[in-house]
Amino acid sequence: MKSFRKELWFEIPGRRAFVNITPDVKVCLAESGIAEGLALINAMHITASVFINDDENGLHHDYEVWLEKLAPHAPTSQYRHNRTGEDNADAHLKRQVMGREVVVAVTEGKLDFGPWEQIFYGEFDGGRKKRVLIKIIGA
Amino acid sequence: MKSFRKELWFEIPGRRAFVNITPDVKVCLAESGIAEGLALINAMHITASVFINDDENGLHHDYEVWLEKLAPHAPTSQYRHNRTGEDNADAHLKRQVMGREVVVAVTEGKLDFGPWEQIFYGEFDGGRKKRVLIKIIGA
Amino acid sequence: MKSFRKELWFEIPGRRAFVNITPDVKVCLAESGIAEGLALINAMHITASVFINDDENGLHHDYEVWLEKLAPHAPTSQYRHNRTGEDNADAHLKRQVMGREVVVAVTEGKLDFGPWEQIFYGEFDGGRKKRVLIKIIGA
């Protein structure tokens, strides 16, 4: 069994953003030399997500509006977590809706994807350095 | 390490439905000859889900009502994604709540499940052909 | 390829709780002797979750309040599932938001975690015995 590991680093200037990391994952997969297996891609931080969906700006705007409705940032005093001195409780909630990780099949050395699948890093509490982990196992 | 891959095809007549695919996954696992490992089952389309829950009609009705409340289909003009000519922005949102994929342990050649676990395909934008991927790795 | 399997048992006295199971998973990983691979940790019951987030009491309170807002327990008659004699339909909904499972990378014999990642069992319908499955594969 082969295994491969790499970290991607991000420093998002604003509070929230979605970044397409599919090209980075493809580079990792090629580097790994793994033809058949599973690739795990996960946020290493608990106020961020990795998810698979469409690379369409309008949809990303809809996600932003929708997540803010489901788990509003303000007033920050509504969350007990923010009494610790943080203002990011909403980011911990948004991340649960969008998910921590994806697992992708690797087949014949490629990400085994449907026609529109793209992998995104979802930042909900930016302005600091954060990481995504790519771990691929297989043969 | 062994690996196995198969696609399941769906064409759901209406917009939304839940389909129990556990029997199909069991057939794949038997075919794979894998005794110990992990099975990934994922929607290959970004307006559909694969998830594990109860095979109970009342609950499926409750999911339908609840998802429609969290991410309503209409008015379709509320979503910027729908300016592309689509009317399925809500399906991209619902799919994030229900999830893209499940990973199931394989033990002694069986899906290693609790008493009520069943695998479902969740369609949120039907009327077209769509696929689920089953990838199993192990020994 | 090596594989390892263990169940953790829970009997939560109240209806809902979050339990940090990271120490248990670390013990399993040491026992497995696996250095490189993937660890799957999943709830074996469909009214419970396994998720990764922060071990901070205020945040857990916020999750409790938020999930109750997204999928209220009462009135129980609002859910068709509860006509089966259950009163736990809300637990099936809450579990979808928080997720069934996590997949964690194993690197050099350790859980390959970011600085704050901790694994939790999320109970949404307690008062009965339930299980979490830990399955690790690798080399």
Q: What is the DSSP letter of C20?
A: E
Give the residue from B7, B14, B11, B18 showing the smallest Cα distance to B121. Answer: B18
Contacts of C137 in chain A (CB under 8 A): 137
Whether residues A36 and B3 touch (CB distance < 8 A) is answered with yes
CA distance B80 to chain A (A): 5
CA distance C62 to chain A (A): 6
* Phi/psi-derived region of residue C138, left when phi > 0, alpha when psi is between -120 and 50, beta in every other case: left
Q: What angle do CA B92, B93, B97 make, to 5 degrees?
A: 120
Say what the pLDDT of residue C136 is: 98
Please tell me the distance from the alpha carbon of residue A47 to that of residue C19, in angstroms, as a whole number.
20
Whether residues A96 and C51 touch (CB distance < 8 A) is answered with yes
Of A1, A81, A82, the CB nearest to C138: A1
Whether residue B89 lies within 8 A of chain A, CB to CB, comes out as yes
- What per-residue string of b and e applies to B87-126 under the rule 16 or more CB within 10 Å gives b? bbbbbbbbbbbbbbbbbbbbbeeebbbbeebbbbbbbbbb
Say what the pLDDT of residue C61 is: 98
Instruction: Tell me the pLDDT tens digit for each residue of B91-129.
Output: 999 999 999 999 999 999 999 999 999 999 999 999 999
Question: Which of B103, B111, B124, B135 to substitute to test the interface with C, most C CBs within 10 Å?
Answer: B103
Share of chain B above pLDDT 70, in %: 100
Say what the pLDDT of residue C113 is: 98
Residue B22's pLDDT band, with cuts at 50, 70 and 90, is very high
Q: Please state the φ and ψ torsions of residue B22, each to the nearest 5 degrees.
A: -55, -45
Of C5, C42, C81, the CB nearest to B59: C81
Please tell me the distance from the alpha carbon of residue A80 to that of residue C60, in angstroms, as a whole number.
9
Whether residue A5 lies within 8 A of chain C, CB to CB, comes out as yes
Whether residue A72 lies within 8 A of chain C, CB to CB, comes out as no
Say what the pLDDT of residue A96 is: 98
CA dist list (Å): C137 to A29, B37, B105, C1, C116: 20, 6, 10, 7, 24
Residues 6+ apart with CB under 8 A from A137: A1, A2, A3, A4, A34, A37, A38, B137, C36, C37, C38, C137, C138
Residues 6+ apart with CB under 8 A from B85: none
Residues 6+ apart with CB under 8 A from A25: A39, A41, A104, A111, A119, A134
- Count helices and strands (H / E) in chain C: 3, 8
Say what the pLDDT of residue B116 is: 97
Whether residue A88 lies within 8 A of chain C, CB to CB, comes out as no
Strands (E) across B12-100 are located at 17-20, 37-43, 48-53
CB-defined contacts A:B, below 8 A: 93
Torsion of CA A61, A67, A68, A69, to 10 degrees: 110
Say what the pLDDT of residue B98 is: 98
Instruction: Tell me the pLDDT tens digit for each residue of A67-107.
Output: 999 999 999 999 999 999 999 999 999 999 999 999 999 99
CA dist list (Å): B62 to B18, B67, C104: 12, 8, 31
Whether residue B95 lies within 8 A of chain A, CB to CB, comes out as yes
Q: Please state the φ and ψ torsions of residue C138, each to the nearest 5 degrees.
A: 160, -150
CB-defined contacts A:C, below 8 A: 93
Tokens (6 digits) for B30: 């038997």
Contact call for residues C105 and A135 (beta carbons, < 8 A): yes
- Where chain C has pLDDT below 70, the residues are none
- Where chain A has pLDDT below 50, the residues are none
Mean confidence (pLDDT) of chain B: 98
Peptide bond into A75 cis (omega under 30): yes
Whether residue C51 lies within 8 A of chain A, CB to CB, comes out as yes
Whether residue C56 lies within 8 A of chain A, CB to CB, comes out as yes
Q: Can you tell me the mean pLDDT for B87-91?
A: 98
Say what the pLDDT of residue B132 is: 98
Say what the pLDDT of residue B90 is: 98
